[in-house]
Copies of this chain bind each other. A is one copy, B any other.
Amino acid sequence: MSTKQNSAAQTDRPQVVVDDFVPLNKTEDGQYLHEKGQHFVIHAEAEASDKSHARSATLHTAHGTIETPVFMAVGTRATVKAVTNEDLKEAGCQILLGNTYHLHLRPGEKTIKAMGGLHKFMNWDKPILTDSGGFQVFSLSALRKLTEKGVEFRSHLDGSKYFISPEKSMEIQMDLGSDIIMAFDECLPYPAEREPTIKSADLTMRWLQRSKEAMTRRQSMLFGIVQGGLEKDLRLKSLEQICSTDLPGFALGGLSVGEPIEMMHALVKEVAHELPKNKPRYLMGVGTPLDLILAVDAGIDMFDCVNPTRTARNGTLFTWQGRVSIKRTEYREDASPLDPECDCYTCRNYTKAYLRHLFTSGEMLSAHLNSIHNLHFHFKVMERAREAIRAGRWAEYRDFCLSRWR
């Protein structure tokens, strides 16, 4: 066959045009729901007897509504690894997270903007949240140089030099066209001393002000990020600073960075409910189904984590009965589905014996089917949480999950 090319777009097939989309949260007076503080509608809260801060709400974004509590699938480089957007929707995905750091390096936000924005580029018409790039700059890149102005670093891909500041992070995220934009923050590794933690939280606060000034895209929402490490007083100090800024949502950052998991659970339990009640509360980078249940109980509304897809590729699968390591010899001739209580594509169609065969053979279909299951499972855990909270049965559902997984 020749290598001659077709001239572009000689087709009359209609293309998905996401950029023509009329934002769903724009009101008749030309304002946006989040500008009026009406973007987050709480439907139900845990009963007083539940001793819980759990609540269930609707979050309005320019690409549709999200029912909370919600788990967001991580689409690092404009794709959730090993699954299609159709798979995601069938599994129950409401919103994707894109990584500013990765997309800035490749293919670059200007390319994505030229392609009509991240929604159109990856053909995803539901909401997208992008992180600020801060976490990856501090965890992945080499030769960082931190100043008041921002961070200079070298790409982990090819060593070339980059500079990200609050202003640059906002520019990138606006070019991507994200529905929810995260403020640029400094994310300290664990463990960190008190003094650097205080200085870092103060810098994050100043960067938040600069992020807010630079974020001019009205249909996007800017969320602030609370830092302050793992000591309660410092964390609450950062929370007070950050949340004094008028923003449509707030996140807890700098957790799930290597600290013992019980320490994270304890801190979230103590501080989550101190975040503004009438705004969505987002716990960044968390977690397992157990982590989700405990954090919802503490008052968190939103989560993201690579956990379901990464563990899936490693052959660890979450079920209502506990974790399953699919490579185990006992599954060699096991004709039962992975999880008899699950109705995902994988559990509807395949046996443990087949999933084991795919994994031990190193077949790509293994990552695909395992990822579909683990994502579906995380979404289902949250769907049942929403149902339970709205039906006044939160404590019952929470205790059921804890009894099975703890």
Contacts and interface: CB of A to CB of B under 8 A. Distances in A.
Interface residues of A, number: 73
A160 to B, nearest CB: 15
A324 interface: yes
Interface string A305-340: 000000000000011011111000010111111011
A322 B4 contact: yes
Interface in A1-26: 1-6, 8-11, 13, 15-16
B3 A77 contact: no
B354 A2 contact: no
B365 A290 contact: no
B405 A354 contact: no
Given A1-B322, A334-B8, A353 B82 contact: no
A332 B368 contact: no
Interface string A355-367: 0111011011101
A368 B78 CA distance: 15
Most chain B beta carbons < 10 A, residue from A86, A290, A330, A337 = A337
B354 A9 contact: no
Contact of A2 (B4, B86, B123, B404): B404
B354 A122 contact: yes
A364 B361 contact: no
A82 B365 contact: yes
Nearest to A11: B340
A330 B333 CA distance: 49
Given A3-B323, A16-B349, A404-B2, A336 B11 contact: yes
A171 to B, nearest CB: 19
Interface in A219-254: none
A140 interface: no
A150 to B, nearest CB: 25
A115 to B, nearest CB: 5
A340 B10 contact: yes
A106 B354 contact: no
Contact of A354 (B78, B319, B367): B78
Number of copies of this protein chain within its complex: 2
A81 B337 CA distance: 22
B358 A79 contact: yes
Most chain B beta carbons < 10 A, residue from A13, A82, A84, A290 = A84
Nearest to A363: B79
A337 B7 CA distance: 11
B368 A288 contact: no
A348 interface: yes
A123 B350 contact: yes
A116 interface: yes
A348 to B, nearest CB: 7
Contact of A365 (B81, B323, B325, B354): B81
Contacts of A6: 319, 321, 336, 339-340
Interface of A: 1-6, 8-11, 13, 15-16, 77-79, 81-86, 106-107, 111, 114-116, 121-123, 288-290, 318-319, 321-325, 330, 332-337, 339-341, 343, 345, 348-351, 353-354, 356-358, 360-361, 363-365, 367-369, 404-406
Given A78-B354, A84-B368, 18 more contacts: A1-B405, A4-B322, A6-B336, A9-B336, A10-B336, A13-B348, A16-B349, A78-B358, A84-B365, A84-B369, A86-B345, A106-B360, A107-B357, A111-B333, A115-B333, A115-B335, A115-B353, A121-B353
23 contacts: A1-B289, A1-B323, A2-B322, A2-B404, A3-B323, A4-B321, A4-B322, A6-B319, A8-B334, A9-B337, A9-B340, A10-B336, A11-B336, A16-B349, A77-B357, A77-B361, A78-B358, A82-B364, A115-B333, A115-B353, A121-B351, A121-B354, A364-B367
